[in-house]
C-alpha cells in the first residue's frame, strides 16, 4: 500500500480516518486560512484542502496526501472557530433555532493525480437559551471547533436532525474520502 499522509492537525480527522483501517502519518501544513473577498463557504473549504495537500506534497512527493477543511455556513457567511466566548455566543445566536450548512473540502493528491470534492450537510440546531450557552461554553468543548460546537460531543443534545453525512460534520466525510482514495487507487 502507498504511503498515506493526513495533512491535518485535527484529532477528529485522525480518529475518523483511523476508522477506515488505514495506516497513515500526520503532517500539519502551515497555510494562510484567510477568507478571500467574495469567497463562498464551498470554495473556501475546497481551496484550503487543496492548499494543504499541495503544501505537504512538496515535502513528500511520492505519498498520497489526504487533506480536508471544514467550516459552517449561515446565510452565505463562513463561521470558523471561535476567537473568544463572546464570538462563540454570537455564532450560537446565528445558528440557534434554525438550520445551517456544514461544508468540508477534501483533496486527495498523489504523484500524478489530484482530486477534490466539497460535501455539504444540513444541521438543524435547537434554540439555545443564554443558560444553555453558558453551560456549554463552561465545558470547554466549543474551543477550537468550527461553529463553536462538536456534534460528536455534548452539542449532540442541541441537534435534533441532520441531513447528509454525519462524519462530514465531525470533520471528514468518510464515504466521499474513500471514493476519492479508490479513484487514485490507494485502496484495493
pLDDT tens column, 65-106: 999 999 999 998 999 899 999 999 999 999 999 999 999 999
Query: Is 132 assigned a catalytic role?
Result: no
Q: What's residue 133's pLDDT? A: 97
pLDDT of 118 = 98
What is the CATH number for 136? 3.90.950.10
Domains identified in the chain, total number: 1
What's residue 188's pLDDT?
Answer: 47
Does residue 188 lie within any of the structural domains?
no
Catalytic residue among 69, 101, 131, 132: 69
Q: How far apart are CA 178 and CA 62, in angstroms?
A: 19
pLDDT-flagged residues of the chain (< 50): 188
Residue 176 inside a domain? The answer is yes
Tell me if 14 is assigned to some domain: yes
Question: Which residue segment(s) compose the domain that 84 sits in?
Answer: 4-183
Q: What is the pLDDT of residue 129?
A: 97
φ, ψ at 118 (rounded to 5°): -120, 130
Q: Would you put residue 28 in left (φ > 0), alpha (ψ -120 to 50) or beta?
A: beta
Amino acid at each position: 500500500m502507498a504511503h498515506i499522509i493526513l495533512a491535518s492537525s485535527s484529532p477528529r480527522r485522525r480518529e475518523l480516518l483511523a476508522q477506515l483501517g488505514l495506516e497513515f502519518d500526520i503532517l500539519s501544513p502551515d497555510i494562510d486560512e484567510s477568507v478571500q473577498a467574495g469567497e463562498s463557504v464551498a470554495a473556501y473549504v475546497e481551496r484550503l484542502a487543496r492548499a494543504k495537500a499541495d503544501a505537504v506534497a512538496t515535502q513528500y512527493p511520492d505519498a498520497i496526501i489526504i487533506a480536508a477543511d471544514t467550516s459552517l455556513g449561515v446565510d452565505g457567511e463562513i463561521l470558523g472557530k471561535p476567537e473568544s466566548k463572546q464570538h462563540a455566543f454570537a455564532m450560537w445566536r446565528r445558528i440557534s433555532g434554525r438550520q445551517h450548512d456544514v461544508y468540508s473540502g477534501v483533496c486527495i493528491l498523489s504523484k500524478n493525480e489530484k482530486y477534490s470534492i466539497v460535501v455539504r450537510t444540513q444541521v438543524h440546531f435547537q434554540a439555545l437559551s443564554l443558560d444553555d450557552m453558558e453551560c456549554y461554553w463552561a465545558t470547554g468543548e466549543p474551543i477550537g471547533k468550527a461553529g463553536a460546537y462538536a456534534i460528536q460531543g455534548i452539542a449532540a443534545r442541541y441537534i435534533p436532525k441532520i441531513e447528509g453525512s454525519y462524519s462530514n460534520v465531525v470533520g471528514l466525510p468518510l464515504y466521499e474520502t474513500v471514493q476519492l482514495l479508490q479513484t487514485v487507487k490507494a485502496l484495493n
